[in-house]
Structure 1
Amino acid sequence: MKFSNEEMLQAMEATGMIPVFNHVDIAVAKGVLDASYKAGIRVFEFTNRTANSLEVFKELYDYAAKYPDLVMGIGTIFTTEQAESFIEAGADFIVSPALIRELAVYCNSKDVFWIPGCATMSEIFQAKKLGASLVKAFPGNVVGSAFVAAAKSVYPELHIMPTGGVEPTEENLKEWFDAGVYCVGMGSQLFKKDWIKNQQYELLENKIADTLKIIQSCKS
């Protein structure tokens, strides 16, 4: 494996944010990846949401080799077959919107870092039993920061990453980090459609850099 689980966790905590992105056009995906890295991102999650996601990911992963310290994962994984295909393509970690036992067992058998989606304490309990070291609170805007705080009161050592509805504002990010999140996943709130459509990657880079500064301020 390119990175150990501990190295990936450290990278996630250090920046405090994982961009979550998908696009059918590899040129656009490369532009977004470059802007993200230049802004300070060191963990990037591409998502399996279009028919050609595997094809795009393969090329994007090869392209990302020029950034040796960049961790590249794949999200929106539901089956072991999907996981196998993306792991063969180089994925450093697997993210699922749900807690899926067979997916956890498969990733564990391959020694691949996996992040399950959890929305209840029962799911968090099962995720921990299956060996999860980081869980994704999903959808973040539904479960809310109060859920994170409550989960941390029971499992203080638990690492939680909310995704879905996390906003790149000081008010919203402070709410999440005050609740005890390990890092946050951020997609549509960060990647403005007009910026992507018009390939305004410098605007995106500045926005990500500003968001990372807010996160560091919230953490300190």
Structure 2
Amino acid sequence: MLKNRMAVLQALETQGVVPVFYHPDVEICKNVIQACADGGAPCIEFTNRGDFAANVFYEVTKHFASADPRVIMGVGSIVDAPTAGLYIANGAKFMVSPIVNADVAKLCNRRMIPYSPGCGSATEISYAQELGCEIVKVFPGSSVGGPDFIKAVMGPMPWTKIMPTGGVDPDEASIRKWFGAGIVAAGMGSKLITQEALDAKDYAGISKKVRETVDLIAKVRGKA
């Protein structure tokens, strides 16, 4: 798969759910990410948390470049340009942030990397769009107003593409509410990749849950 900016954005929208994951163990990361890709969600948001997270990201991204080129590794929790640059050098194909940072936007634009900054108001969303961000992250999704906030923004700004994280669950009721409000994708973490599944190393179970969620989003969108 060609991993240019437009291809990555299209892939994010197509799969609908973006697994959000971090673990300090490289092998566990490889297994979980492979499970997500096999379940229909090859775009992964690796969370920049923990000591030496960038080193783990490098090893995992290098692995998938040859082991499964379908995988598109992005990185989340990016709050400054130097950290964004480090991850781009290590193979990141998209950036996600809890905040709007103009320096990160400029760096990503220069390298043609999609940047989804965290926004909590119509003004922040508009500023992110001014900076060239195609998909904005609403964060924390449930705390800033949930689906009602999405609907309110989409009224006067119908061109907006929103990907919330926080508050979107992998069940039909939640997916119907959020996607019905107009989002194009949603980041999902521990409710998609549960601690129970990780403890049991139930990678087949993770893949099944991801597949069910991808299929459910397609059904809600009327594409299944």
Aligned to 1:155: 157
Q: Deviations over 1:157-183 (max 9, x none)?
A: 111001112100000000011000011
Question: How far has the Cα of 1:132 moved from its partner?
Answer: 0.8
Question: How far has the Cα of 1:109 moved from its partner?
Answer: 2.4
**Cα distance in 2 between the residues matched to 1:213 and 1:64:** 24
Q: 1:121 aligned to 2:122? A: yes
Name the SS for the 1:68 alignment partner: coil
**Cα distance in 1 between the residues matched to 2:70 and 2:35:** 15
**Cα distance in 2 between the residues matched to 1:213 and 1:13:** 13
Aligned to 2:63: 63
Aligned to 1:204: 206
Q: Deviations over 1:139-168 (max 9, x none)?
A: 111120111111111211111001112100
Question: How far has the Cα of 1:63 moved from its partner?
Answer: 1.4
Aligned to 1:47: 47
* 8 Å CA contact 1:165, 1:189 repeated in 2: no
Aligned to 1:108: 109
Question: How far has the Cα of 1:5 moved from its partner?
Answer: 1.7
* 8 Å CA contact 1:166, 1:189 repeated in 2: no
Percent of aligned positions with the same letter in both sequences?
36
Question: How far has the Cα of 1:42 moved from its partner?
Answer: 2.3
**Cα distance in 2 between the residues matched to 1:140 and 1:188:** 15
**Cα distance in 2 between the residues matched to 1:132 and 1:45:** 17
Amino acid at match of 2:89: E
Unmatched 5+ stretches in structure 2: none
**Cα distance in 2 between the residues matched to 1:99 and 1:17:** 22
1:1-220 superposed matches below 5 A: 3-65=3-65, 66-143=67-144, 144-220=146-222
Amino acid at match of 1:102: D
**Cα distance in 1 between the residues matched to 2:142 and 2:196:** 23
**Cα distance in 2 between the residues matched to 1:48 and 1:163:** 15
TM normalised by structure 2 equals 0.94
Amino acid at match of 2:41: I
- RMSD (Å) for aligned C-alpha atoms: 1.1
TM normalised by structure 1 equals 0.96
Amino acid at match of 2:36: S
Q: Deviations over 1:102-150 (max 9, x none)?
A: 2112222232221101010110111011111010011111120111111
**Cα distance in 1 between the residues matched to 2:195 and 2:70:** 28
Name the SS for the 2:198 alignment partner: helix
Name the SS for the 2:168 alignment partner: coil
Unmatched 5+ stretches in structure 1: none
